[in-house]
Amino acid sequence: MGSHSSDDFTAKWAEHDLGEVVVSAKEVRDRINELGKQITLDYAQRPPLLVCVLKGAINFMADLMRAIELPVEVDFMAVSSYGAATKTSGVVRIVKDLDVDLAQRDVLIVEDVVDSGLTLNYLRQYLGARNPKSLEVCALLLKVGEQRVEQSLKYVGFSIPADFVVGFGLDVNERYRNLDAIYTYTGDV
Q: Which residues are catalytic?
A: 115
Q: Give the whole-angstrom CA distance, residue 58 versus residue 122.
A: 20
Total number of residues shown for the chain: 189
Give the closest residue to 36 by CA, choosing from 1, 60, 7: 60
Q: Give the whole-angstrom CA distance, residue 2 versus residue 25.
A: 10
Cα R_g (the chain), whole angstroms: 16
Element (H, E) at 104: none
